Amino acid sequence: MDEFLGELFGADENTRKKILSVSQFNEVTRALLENEPLLQGITLRGEISNYKKYPSGHAYFSLKDERSTIACVMFAGNAFGLRFLPQNGMQVLAGGSATIYGKDGRYQFVVRSMTPDGVGGLYAAFEKLKKRFEEEGLTSESRKKPLPPFPRRVGVITSPVGAAFRDILNVTGRRFPAAEILLYPAAVQGAEAPGQLLQALRFFEAKRNVDVLIIGRGGGSMEDLWAFNDENLCRALADCPIPTISAVGHETDYTLCDFVCDKRAPTPSAAAELAVPEKKELLADLAEFERRMLSAFERELAQRRELLEQFAGQKVLSDPQAMWEVKKNTLAQQSRRFRRETQVALKGKREGLSLLGEKMLTLNPMAVLTRGYSALFDGEGRVVQSVKSLSSGQKVLLRLADGRAEAEVKKVFQDEAGNREQSAKEPAEERGKV
């Protein structure tokens, strides 16, 4: 080390070089770090943030505590031997050494071993609030609203200077130029971000001037995205009457807004694709609909033409007067037959009715009186059928053909076998008394 520094700077002040290249400076600094015993073979305790593993097998991430952050790299050989899957928010113990990356002069911690040391504070808070939302039903799919198929206006809540808004503009302009994009600018990270995001949401709720709402930003570490885990903001999104799309981060980044919004998109560009339809697909659908309508119209027209040709050969069209005469004659014949059959039926009914009348007269007991007979009734108007129902002094009524007469029973004679013989010897005047 001393030889290297002496060669570079000279043995004394007179021979020391005053001008260094950037590469030389980074090399000297790296040598100082790597030869400092206090910075080699040490273990750091911190929370994983912004973890990325590349196809090469190398993993790049940050370790942080309450006050500081340091960039870390774990090369493929060491990363391959890990017995757990590193995730953002995990508290770990990382063993390694400090160095400087020569190309950009950024100092970093080269991790050679790593073990879990519990869950980080941010991650623990995230999971706790997520569980509470699930218990309250705020993340349930049943309460989420469908997106409108053809929105006229799309509201966007994001930073006006970030790539997220440009991506949304580009995608919507390409897919569905008819949609109007309304931006409410807001901070997307930092202490002021939750309040500004909530204010933007309240603005669109009050105006009701958009059909769908996109809220989001580009990717970042957990602490960069933490504004989208704010409880007040998430609850407001869950209650928002406007359909909402969360577009926070990249494919692997999740925030609580993703769970409470009606739809989640992995990127702002994907959110724009969810918000508006594809113009080309709509035009293709319209063309297909037009083709099917024309085909159906042509089939219907051919069927109607064929039917008309069939009718054209029928007599009802070629000679309608003759058809009218045929129908007229048929109607006249049916009318005559109806009258004839009706008269025959009425005659039969009259004859039957006359026979029934004669039969009723024959069976009428009062008709017998016209032949010189009379009928005897008791005081209550009942027909006297036997002398047993009569008694001496009883008032009776005689009914004759031309009137009635009241009488009194003087004596009753019961006609039996012996009495008949005895009554035959009685004087005629005795037998005639009632």
Residue 207 confidence (pLDDT): 93
Residue 254 confidence (pLDDT): 85
Count the residues in the chain. 434
Q: At what angle do helices 193-207 and 231-239 cross, to 10 degrees?
A: 20
DSSP designation for 383: B
User: What is the DSSP code string of 197-235?
Assistant: HHHHHHHHHHH---SEEEEEE----TTTTGGGG-HHHHH
Residue 9 confidence (pLDDT): 54
**Mean pLDDT per 10-residue segment, the chain (434 residues):** 55 60 84 84 92 92 92 93 81 92 87 82 82 95 95 96 93 94 94 93 96 92 85 96 91 85 94 94 88 92 85 69 81 90 89 83 72 81 84 86 86 65 42 42
Residue 70 confidence (pLDDT): 94
Residue 383 confidence (pLDDT): 85
Where helices occur in 319-416 by DSSP H, the ranges are: 320-363
User: What is the number of other CB atoms lying within 10 angstroms of the CB of residue 141?
Assistant: 6
Q: Which domains does the chain have, with CATH numbers?
A: 2-119 (2.40.50.140), 129-280 (3.40.50.261), 369-431 (no CATH)
DSSP designation for 144: P
Residue 194 confidence (pLDDT): 93
